[in-house]
Structure 1
Amino acid sequence: MTRFYIKFKKNPLTTPTDPAEQVKLWMTLLGNVKKDLASGGLTDWGDGVDIKEGYCISELDEEKLHTLMLKYVPFIIFDIKPVLTVDQVMESIQRVVRAQSH
Structure 2
Amino acid sequence: MSTTTTTADLGVVERLDEKIRQLIALVEKSRAESAKLRTENERLGKEVDALQAQLTDAAGVAAELQSMREERDQVRTRVADMLAQLDALQM
Going by fraction, where is strand more abundant, 1 or 2?
Answer: 1
The alignment's TM-score, normalised by the length of structure 1, stands at 0.27
- Between Structure 1 and Structure 2, which shows a larger proportion of helix residues? 2
> Structure 2 length normalisation: TM-score?
0.29
Indicate the structure (1 or 2) with the bigger Cα radius of gyration: 2
Q: Which has the higher contact order (CA 8 A, sep 6+)?
A: 1
